[in-house]
Amino acid sequence: MQAEEYWCRARQELEFVFDQTDPGVAMALKTMAIHILFWKGDLELATYYQTLSLAICRQLKLENSDTYLHCLYAIMNKPNSTSAELQSTWMELERVQ
């Protein structure tokens, strides 16, 4: 129960900064995506957090950051990705490397 309590506190604190373009917010969103996937198995919410993290990294021109690449790989390896999504993500990955 304690882990979920900490999760809820982090979520409440971060909801005020989700729209800020800051590398720290992008990293926090990436970490939250990992935790929500591990603890809740919520692929949709994890993908949402990863997408927000990617958008922040793009705005800050941080496409070569660990945060950006981790989120990109995670989205690319979703079990329900369509071939069009995979192709688009693969092209983006090739562009930034």
* Number of other CB atoms surrounding residue 44 within 10 Å: 9
Nearest to 2 by CA among 47, 53, 54, 39: 39
pLDDT tens digits for range 30-41: 998 998 888 888
One-character DSSP codes across 44-88: HHHHHHHHHHHHHHHHTT-TTSHHHHHHHHHHHT-TT--HHHHHH
pTM attached to this predicted model = 0.78
- The better pLDDT of the pair 27, 9 is held by 27
pLDDT at residue 1, as a whole number: 58
pLDDT tens digits for range 85-94: 888 877 887 8
pLDDT tens digits for range 59-79: 999 998 999 999 988 888 888
